[in-house]
């Protein structure tokens, strides 16, 4: 779909907003989550320490969600308030191109790696035993 509701400059601004959010996910949330998971491995019972760290991870993810691209957030609110099909199509097209699952998986790799590693330490004692040996 051609995004006729937006000028080229506005589309570039949206792309920049998404890139900033992905950088935040990667460089802050991903790195801190990975580092906490590594730190947990230094303890006798990494799962207990990882469970204690979970509040930090939850708070970190909440903070990251507050930096969600503002234009997409406004479009979601506008769509919810007005039920306008043009707004819905524009939002879906923008999210599909710049902020869909495929984009999020490929552009926030460090975030997903850190979160996956943390969850593996938290949920799988066999994994931590394997890493420690």
Has residue 98 been placed in a domain?
yes
Here the tokens at position 52 are 């204690």
Here the tokens at position 53 are 């760290």
Has residue 46 been placed in a domain?
yes
Has residue 120 been placed in a domain?
yes
How many domains, in total, are found in the chain?
1
Q: Which 3-state string (H, E, C) describes 45-66?
A: CHHHHHHHHHHHHHHHHHHHHC
Here the tokens at position 108 are 């926030």
Q: Flag whether pLDDT at 1 surpasses 50.
A: no
| pLDDT of 3 | 54
Domain of 113?
9-132
Do 11 and 3 meet the contact criterion of CB atoms below 8 Å apart? yes
Q: What pLDDT, in 10s, does the model give residues 2-60?
A: 556 677 888 888 888 888 888 888 999 999 999 999 999 999 999 999 999 999 999 99
């Amino acid at each position: 779909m051609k995004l006729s509701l937006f000028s080229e400059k506005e589309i570039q601004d949206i792309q920049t907003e998404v890139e900033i959010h992905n950088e935040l996910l990667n460089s802050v949330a991903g790195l801190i989550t990975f580092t906490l998971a590594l730190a947990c491995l230094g303890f006798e019972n990494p799962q207990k320490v990882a469970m204690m760290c979970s509040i930090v991870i939850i708070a970190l993810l909440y903070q990251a969600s507050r930096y969600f691209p503002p234009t997409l957030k406004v479009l979601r609110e506008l769509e919810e308030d007005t039920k306008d099909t043009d707004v819905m199509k524009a939002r879906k097209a923008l999210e599909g191109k710049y902020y869909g699952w495929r984009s999020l998986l490929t552009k926030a790799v460090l975030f997903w790696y850190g979160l996956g590693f943390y969850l593996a330490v938290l949920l799988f004692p066999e994994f931590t035993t394997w890493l420690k040996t």
